[in-house]
Amino acid sequence: MINPNEVFKLLADKNKLKIFMMLMHDEYCVCDIEKFLSLKQANVSKHLMSFKQYELVEGFRENQWIHYRITNTVKDDHKALYDYLQSTTLYKTIAADLASFEKELCHPLKKGE
């Protein structure tokens, strides 16, 4: 289990927090995160790498796309934090915005694949 201080340091950055909350909602590729949050690809990749360093997110390849998702470790070892973040207004706003954004995904995942 990672040090909670490291998790809080990462989530203190507003863009990292938004990326993390996006990935709490569903799995997304870098280009979708970039488009949704109006960030540069290099910044999104850098943020994702910092999450991967602490095993908070994982990536998996689907053709030429790499999709990212929250690890089960986060859901298990940091359940209280995960549940708290889901109860926030920011998460609910992001989730609602993502519902309409999903029509614009570069390559939508097919659920169940």
- The tens digit of pLDDT for each residue in 57-99 reads 999 988 888 899 999 988 888 888 899 999 999 999 999 999 8
Long-range Cβ pairs for the range 12-16 (8 Å, 24+): 13/47, 15/39, 15/43, 15/47, 16/47, 16/50, 16/51
The full set of domain ranges for the chain reads 4-100
Residue showing tokens 């519902």:
99
Report pLDDT for 49. 95
- Which of the four CATH numbers 1.10.10.10, 3.30.565.10, 3.40.190.170, 1.20.58.220 does domain 4-100 have? 1.10.10.10
Nearest to 22 by CA among 113, 77, 110, 93: 93
* DSSP tag of 55: T
